[in-house]
Structure 1
């Protein structure tokens, strides 16, 4: 086990941490039943420790009928038996604490399963205003099945009734609209604090909040929703001041001033409906998400894309957060369970080092989706599973396939590959085992990038950035560091003044005042190196092979 000291709370270290997202049913299976579980994750924590991440975010693992893969919660206070129950949670926290890795849970704040006891009680009691009910059929409402005989408002799928947090505006034609300070909305707000506090008391150090912007209805500018989260955050901080809240809002300029420590740029959200992230990755455009119109993305091998849209959005977010006096930061994910991986469509694992290095060197909180560190691909053509399909061309199952561990050494902790979904059928699919044995692998490159991110103050999320170009190559300065990223299939040159040392590079070299990037090359260059006799190297792991390798997975 590679224990790593990480002093201070997560909030203290917010601008330095690296987050890793785990889809628990797909990550690792400890008991061999084919379903990934929390003991499987615990058995693979040495991989995360070796990789160097500070925190792991787990998709919902609470008691659920799993019609939406756990986002339909039937009991917020217990771990589902398929993941090992509450005892498995305690074991996971103990193992993670021993490695200095924080565990974050995923809170579905805006709705429950229709099998939750709250909903069953409300469906039978006309006085229960925990959910939004209408006595008559109304647009967006579906019929309930209880003795109440009314219609309820779902928050996502029809089997996910929306919790009542009130409406920002009243309407005499819609008498079900309660104000945000009515009894039902206040009761639900209190429940959020109780649920999060319960898991904080049991060892969680933060939450990612699903659909965080969806709580208060008809809320222009999400003003009342922002006030709600500011209240929740203040009450939680009174007991757990060092823990963090990350939102799935997709609009950091609004979410972070509302009280979240981090909000991700996402494939949706904001005034431009996710355009910043789409302009970077646009993974598999036109194949899995009808809303992602075909476009040339910065990460495309054509070299015709441009990161200017993303940079402009990030600058706007930075200014909005500063104006609000917030200490929070935006987040930049490599992918997640809701949109396609970096390796998708025609894009290969050989092409994505620049994208991964961007996520790990840009001034934001980086989130690595499980398997992206080895270049797992979005697998097309899978059947819908546990609510993964959101439309005829929006299938999420391909982003949720089992983590590809491969044949790991006997010294590794015992855990099986999940069979929750079919494994990538490509016989050349990447595995952790294969890449551990390859000194030039993507896995070792990502490990070196994580180490650099965590060790160099110039790469902190709140440290300055100066953008020099946004195409291919994308070049920016982080203090005296220069980051140059060439996602294209053509070589690119970057002029460099003075001395330069490549701290981390791939297919990159310095030649007579020029940084030469081969196709898909990238580098982090120190423009003010200390003369200690070190040689320029493009081997990202040449000094990182140590005794932790034998326990790395």
Structure 2
């Protein structure tokens, strides 16, 4: 069962190398986060989610782990992480770590040992090896996809990668075992079981130090199966159910979040929520204007949250309603942005369009995840250098959403005292770039709006996850009711919108700009947004008329 503390939580995602540098080496660190915890507390967030902070050669920004039990020296020490956990707890904030379990770094001692061996380990291989390729076409050369890589060491044959060549796939077995591929292990063979035991050890190590849980990268890439994605996902989910059963006894308040949605296998869930990833279509159809690039699986569309007003909520609503039908009470995490994509402010989308987007994200009924810097409207920076594997496809650069946090108008925007050329990534060069310091005392700033939204969400139960969400108008403006008492109106386009709602004579605007409710008619100016507490004399039903 999902811990109570998480169901209505607000998450804040920190990309650690870009948040705050305390020692002047140009790279963010844990001490820098400790120094900025009061800022997070002022937002009202309940949990921090860190991208991977373990020992790594950082060929993929830490998603290539070389030691699961040690904090990377550039971030600090294990003791620093424990201190951060305790300091955050004093402020009512829990800490979630990113756990990469489908693969390690090729520098990991486990892989180096198997690379130096002449054949399979007697206790079972930790990685997936084959003497000959099962199909010549299996040797993938597309960056960022699974594929076979020729062994660079004494061991003959090929190993399976999960993403980049330097990320060998851990061996959790296969669901089918054809006789012409004897190198395949079943999920209960010694190698896969060694890795399941390893996962339990890693989880226990950090949970015992006070960490509140994990967001699991590529959570359903564990079991490999040529027969089909669903079979492999179901077998991977079974591994997580086994681990979850142990966690419920050993660490009952800990949470597990997957990257994406947990497959529906007919068995109980292992994870505490689904995650509507910004890189996938349901979320992307709302926000992705393709200014940051396009991956091959990204369909062309006009985003709903866009000034032109040519988008639709239909793709998102279909996915949301499907998830809700299967389990109405299951939390769904939705982010403002993340480390793999663009930001809300991207390309032509500007800060004056954020009110509608942020109001939606904090009142829709999901568990919101606020990406660092989005609370001040930091923008995606095009054309940044390919640092630590940021360019995973020729048409897609992730560096633009990983630029340093903008704290003040001092050198390097207050992120670091290092020379600019030594920074992890360049600071936004725009002299008008937003900063925390500039917005701190401005009641009309993005920062002030985020604080008000989180405070309102905390104060009004109907705006959190348990109250039902009823869509009253699916176009522009987008109108929905939370519970029976609160109306939310967001108009992301430049043009005004108007819609008549039956049974909604009026109400008090608790937060908003450019929206009125008069005589059952909602009028929203361009980029308008509002949260309205409805009067007691009526409840809005489906619109009698609509435009947009």
Measure, in 1, the Cα distance between the counterparts of 2:2 and 2:330.
12
Q: 1:285 Cα shift? A: 4.9
**Which range is displaced more, 164-173 or 61-70?**
164-173
1:24 pairs, out of 13, 16, 21, with 16
**Which range is displaced more, 219-228 or 245-254?**
245-254
Measure, in 2, the Cα distance between the counterparts of 1:405 and 1:131.
43
1:242-281 equivalences under 5 Å are 242-250=253-261, 257-267=268-278, 274-281=280-287
The structure-2 alpha-carbon separation of the partners of 1:529 and 1:21, relative to structure 1 and needing over 3 Å to count, comes to: farther
Q: Name the residue aligned to 1:171.
A: 178
Q: Name the residue aligned to 2:454.
A: 450
Equivalent pairs counted in the alignment come to: 508
Q: Name the residue aligned to 2:33.
A: 41
1:248-327 equivalences under 5 Å are 248-250=259-261, 257-267=268-278, 274-285=280-291, 287-322=293-328
The structure-2 alpha-carbon separation of the partners of 1:428 and 1:291, relative to structure 1 and needing over 3 Å to count, comes to: farther
Q: 1:407 Cα shift? A: 4.1
The structure-2 alpha-carbon separation of the partners of 1:311 and 1:257, relative to structure 1 and needing over 3 Å to count, comes to: farther
Unaligned 5+ runs, structure 1? 1-8, 269-273, 409-413, 531-553
Q: 1:520 Cα shift? A: 0.4
Measure, in 2, the Cα distance between the counterparts of 1:200 and 1:355.
34
Measure, in 2, the Cα distance between the counterparts of 1:257 and 1:210.
20
Q: Name the residue aligned to 2:243.
A: 232
Deviation per CA, 1:24-80, whole angstroms, max 9, x where unpaired? 000001112211001101111111100000000000000001111100000000100
The structure-2 alpha-carbon separation of the partners of 1:514 and 1:422, relative to structure 1 and needing over 3 Å to count, comes to: same
1:85 pairs, out of 40, 64, 77, with 77
Q: 1:462 Cα shift? A: 2.5
The structure-2 alpha-carbon separation of the partners of 1:296 and 1:283, relative to structure 1 and needing over 3 Å to count, comes to: closer
Q: Name the residue aligned to 2:332.
A: 330
TM-score, reference length from structure 1: 0.88
Q: Name the residue aligned to 2:492.
A: 487
Q: Name the residue aligned to 1:534.
A: none
Q: Name the residue aligned to 1:3.
A: none
Measure, in 1, the Cα distance between the counterparts of 2:216 and 2:267.
13
Report the 3-state secondary structure (helix = DSSP H, G, I; strand = E; otherwise coil) of the residue aligned with 2:269. Answer: coil
The structure-2 alpha-carbon separation of the partners of 1:311 and 1:254, relative to structure 1 and needing over 3 Å to count, comes to: farther
Deviation per CA, 1:156-186, whole angstroms, max 9, x where unpaired? 1000000000111222232222111111111
Q: Name the residue aligned to 2:68.
A: 76
Q: Answer yes or no: is 1:58 the counterpart of 2:50.
A: yes
Q: Answer yes or no: is 1:376 the counterpart of 2:378.
A: yes
Q: Answer yes or no: is 1:131 the counterpart of 2:127.
A: yes
1:223 pairs, out of 221, 230, 234, with 234
Q: Name the residue aligned to 1:548.
A: none
Measure, in 2, the Cα distance between the counterparts of 1:374 and 1:283.
20
1:494-505 equivalences under 5 Å are 494-495=499-500, 497-505=504-512
Q: Name the residue aligned to 1:212.
A: 219
Q: 1:253 Cα shift? A: 5.3
Deviation per CA, 1:487-512, whole angstroms, max 9, x where unpaired? 01012234462340111112334445
Report the 3-state secondary structure (helix = DSSP H, G, I; strand = E; otherwise coil) of the residue aligned with 1:14. Answer: helix
Measure, in 2, the Cα distance between the counterparts of 1:467 and 1:498.
18
Measure, in 2, the Cα distance between the counterparts of 1:54 and 1:455.
14
Q: 1:348 Cα shift? A: 0.8
Q: 1:261 Cα shift? A: 0.6
Q: 1:352 Cα shift? A: 2.0
Measure, in 2, the Cα distance between the counterparts of 1:415 and 1:201.
31
TM-score, reference length from structure 2: 0.88
Unaligned 5+ runs, structure 2? 139-146, 538-548
Q: 1:137 Cα shift? A: 4.0
Q: Name the residue aligned to 2:105.
A: 113
The structure-2 alpha-carbon separation of the partners of 1:215 and 1:505, relative to structure 1 and needing over 3 Å to count, comes to: same
Residue 285 of structure 1 contacts residue 293 of structure 1 at CA under 8 Å; is this kept in 2? no
Q: Name the residue aligned to 2:482.
A: 478
Measure, in 2, the Cα distance between the counterparts of 1:187 and 1:206.
22
Residue 17 of structure 1 contacts residue 454 of structure 1 at CA under 8 Å; is this kept in 2? no
| Superposition CA RMSD, Å | 2.2
Measure, in 2, the Cα distance between the counterparts of 1:101 and 1:14.
11
Deviation per CA, 1:418-451, whole angstroms, max 9, x where unpaired? 8310011111111111111211111110111111
Q: 1:11 Cα shift? A: 1.5
**Which range is displaced more, 47-56 or 274-283?**
274-283
Residue 305 of structure 1 contacts residue 472 of structure 1 at CA under 8 Å; is this kept in 2? no
Measure, in 2, the Cα distance between the counterparts of 1:124 and 1:342.
47
Deviation per CA, 1:188-224, whole angstroms, max 9, x where unpaired? 1111111011000111001000011111111542211
Residue 292 of structure 2 contacts residue 380 of structure 2 at CA under 8 Å; is this kept in 1? no
Measure, in 2, the Cα distance between the counterparts of 1:287 and 1:106.
25
Residue 10 of structure 1 contacts residue 205 of structure 1 at CA under 8 Å; is this kept in 2? no
Deviation per CA, 1:373-405, whole angstroms, max 9, x where unpaired? 111111001110000111111100001000111
The structure-2 alpha-carbon separation of the partners of 1:123 and 1:22, relative to structure 1 and needing over 3 Å to count, comes to: same
Residue 363 of structure 2 contacts residue 463 of structure 2 at CA under 8 Å; is this kept in 1? yes
Q: Name the residue aligned to 2:466.
A: 462
1:148-159 equivalences under 5 Å are 148-159=155-166
Deviation per CA, 1:271-307, whole angstroms, max 9, x where unpaired? xxx3211211114357354543431111011122111
Report the 3-state secondary structure (helix = DSSP H, G, I; strand = E; otherwise coil) of the residue aligned with 2:154. Answer: coil
Report the 3-state secondary structure (helix = DSSP H, G, I; strand = E; otherwise coil) of the residue aligned with 2:6. Answer: coil
Q: 1:255 Cα shift? A: 11
Structure showing greater relative contact order (alpha-carbon pairs closer than 8 Å, 6 or more residues apart): 1
Measure, in 2, the Cα distance between the counterparts of 1:454 and 1:265.
22
Q: Name the residue aligned to 2:434.
A: 430
The structure-2 alpha-carbon separation of the partners of 1:402 and 1:256, relative to structure 1 and needing over 3 Å to count, comes to: farther
